[in-house]
């Protein structure tokens, strides 16, 4: 009887120890002394309201009420830090290996990226090694060499839209078509694979390429919110009951089979083209860069290389197509911006862009064409188009595709996170923001104390739309603000344009900024320029409800 009791207690300890550890950590966390919104639920905290799409400005509302640094409640009311303070954000994101993604976030991303071995999910020295090997594939010069692919897909998409819009009262699903175009670009430029998504009239699963269909299954499964997934994070016992559906297993097998074929092809081509490389897709450059590492310990394994393929799709497909769609939405709601941008594009010198006739275009639209002899000069001209640059910056500021990111403190003994300080009464003097914050006892604090295992949320969208930085119209799409950006924006540690859309631009220990941001920008610039140049007016009276449905 005693042995049976001991066995039962051991079993219960095995099940509940992680949960009790969580409760103990939360009871000792210094974050419990900070202000924050009341918990809506003992089990889910504030998580449900945060995931409600109707609450798109919830974080900004909390910031107005509780300041730039506060806590919200997560699973079983655990305190989680939320901060928009630029110095705190720079410290957290800059020390990427001290503040990695929490395991449950990495597990979720790994489901989308088909494993834990891609750049999106690795941490520490493995991540450092992978980023070093991948860097040559994402330089400006190499991305520019891929512009023929960007142009080809942008022009193909333009022609499809012009053909469909020629029908009276036609409705064009911009998100669906942009998603297809982006997938085609990533396939060809990323790993030399033709999805041919734009060539298919139907968007049904049966009409998709088998690799595209496999990723669609994996991605849609990973995005589903399940209570069991949360339980499996804190109760390892429940992981025994983790089962993939037959469809998911088949999708994973398809990705592995085709991925291995692509890796083997790239490896063979790298060997054959050793003296004079020809293939320039990202996977081919990766394979050549990997083989050039003299030390085997500094090379990626085949499994790691394979994981980069699904990572390319997971990290670049949905985010880029979403950004493109939201920009078109913003332009449709601001016809004066649309008109001004179109005029700026039409002002590009004829030596950089040629004009071709198109039977499907209206009389006021002269589509940009890009014969190979002028592609380079046309790309340069578009990159120099100031108003297009403003529109892109503003679209990525107001409508960040990824609205937040999460980190966990892994420093033994915890950490003191600095916050901004400002002398005098003027907010934003010398390019800084008034810092410090008051805890729930009314005590002014100049740093944030966190323990090891404390979770931190960085609200990217809220930081990009911070009224203390961008003024009272921070939520408004107004490209002209980039003619003279506010001094306070210099405090934002963004990789691009002093916004956090592509994360941190000032790495201290580990660089987790978006390695493919130049790829995404080049793709977006070509797509936007081609569409706006060619189409007289983008508008839809029903776009509000339509975009909400597709979000």
For residue 438, the SS3 value is strand
Q: How many domains does the chain have?
A: 1
171 within 8 A of 163, measured Cβ to Cβ? no
> What is d(CA 281, CA 193) in angstroms, rounded to the nearest whole number?
9
Q: For residue 261, is it within any domain?
A: yes
Question: What pLDDT is recorded for position 366?
Answer: 41
Q: For residue 302, is it within any domain?
A: yes
For residue 357, the SS3 value is coil
CATH number at residue 293: 1.10.630.10
Q: For residue 452, is it within any domain?
A: no
Residue ranges in the chain modelled with pLDDT below 50: 354-367, 373, 423-432, 541, 544-551
> What is d(CA 395, CA 59) in angstroms, rounded to the nearest whole number?
19
13 within 8 A of 52, measured Cβ to Cβ? no
Q: For residue 8, is it within any domain?
A: no
Q: For residue 332, is it within any domain?
A: yes
φ/ψ (deg, to 5) at 69: -135, 120
> Domain span at residue 262?
135-401+516-550
pLDDT in tens, 290-347: 988 768 888 999 999 999 999 999 888 889 999 999 999 999 999 999 999 999 999 9
113 within 8 A of 120, measured Cβ to Cβ? yes
Q: For residue 454, is it within any domain?
A: no
192 within 8 A of 279, measured Cβ to Cβ? yes
Question: What pLDDT is recorded for position 234?
Answer: 67
Question: What pLDDT is recorded for position 26?
Answer: 85
Q: For residue 253, is it within any domain?
A: yes
Q: For residue 201, is it within any domain?
A: yes
């Amino acid at each position: 009887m005693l042995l049976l009791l001991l066995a039962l207690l051991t079993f219960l300890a095995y099940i509940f120890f992680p949960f009790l550890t969580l409760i103990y950590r939360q009871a000792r966390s210094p974050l419990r002394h900070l202000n924050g919104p009341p918990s809506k639920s003992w089990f889910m905290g504030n998580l449900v309201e945060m995931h409600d799409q109707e609450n798109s400005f919830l974080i900004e509302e909390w910031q107005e009420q509780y300041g730039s640094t506060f806590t919200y409640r997560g699973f079983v009311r655990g305190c989680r830090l939320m901060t928009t303070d630029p110095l705190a954000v720079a410290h957290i994101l800059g020390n990427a290996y001290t503040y990695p993604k929490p395991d449950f976030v990495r597990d979720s991303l790994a489901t989308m990226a088909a494993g834990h071995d891609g750049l999106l999910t690795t941490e520490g020295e493995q991540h450092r090694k992978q980023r070093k090997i991948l860097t040559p594939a994402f330089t400006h010069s190499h991305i520019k060499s891929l512009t023929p692919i960007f142009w080809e897909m942008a022009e193909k998409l333009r022609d499809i839209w012009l053909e469909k819009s020629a029908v009276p009262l036609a409705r064009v699903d911009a998100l669906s078509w942009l998603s297809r175009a982006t997938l085609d670009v990533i396939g060809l430029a990323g790993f030399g694979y033709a999805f041919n998504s734009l060539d298919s009239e139907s968007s049904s699963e049966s009409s998709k390429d088998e690799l595209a269909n496999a990723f669609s299954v994996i991605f849609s499964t990973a995005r589903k919110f399940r209570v069991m997934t949360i339980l499996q994070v804190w109760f390892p016992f429940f992981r025994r009951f983790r089962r993939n559906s037959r469809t998911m297993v088949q999708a994973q097998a398809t990705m592995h089979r085709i991925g291995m074929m692509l890796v083997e092809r790239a490896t063979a081509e790298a060997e054959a083209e050793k003296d004079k490389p020809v293939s320039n897709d990202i996977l081919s450059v990766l394979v050549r860069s990997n083989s050039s590492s003299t030390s085997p310990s500094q090379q990626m394994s085949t499994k790691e290389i394979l994981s980069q393929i699904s990572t390319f799709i997971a990290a670049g497909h949905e985010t880029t197509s979403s950004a493109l769609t939201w920009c078109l939405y913003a332009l449709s709601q601001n016809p004066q911006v649309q008109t001004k941008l179109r005029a700026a594009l039409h002002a590009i010198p004829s030596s950089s862009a040629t004009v071709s006739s198109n039977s499907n275009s209206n009389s006021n639209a002269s589509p940009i064409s890009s014969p190979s002899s002028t592609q380079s000069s046309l790309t340069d001209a578009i990159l120099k188009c100031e108003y297009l640059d403003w529109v892109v910056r503003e679209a990525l500021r107001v409508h960040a595709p990824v609205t937040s990111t999460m980190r966990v403190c892994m420093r033994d003994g915890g950490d003191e996170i600095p916050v901004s300080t400002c002398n005098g009464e003027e907010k934003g003097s010398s390019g800084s923001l008034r810092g410090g914050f008051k805890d729930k006892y009314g005590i002014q604090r100049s740093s944030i104390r966190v323990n090891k295992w404390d979770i931190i949320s960085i609200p990217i969208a809220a930081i990009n739309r911070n009224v203390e930085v961008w003024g009272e119209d921070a939520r408004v799409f107004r490209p002209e603000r980039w003619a003279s950006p506010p001094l306070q924006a210099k405090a934002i540690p963004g990789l691009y344009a002093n916004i956090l859309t592509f994360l941190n631009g000032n790495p201290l220990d580990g660089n987790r900024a978006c390695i493919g941001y130049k790829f995404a920008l080049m793709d977006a610039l070509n797509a936007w320029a081609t569409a706006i140049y060619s189409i007289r007016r983008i508008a839809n009276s029903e776009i509000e409800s339509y975009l909400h449905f597709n979000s």
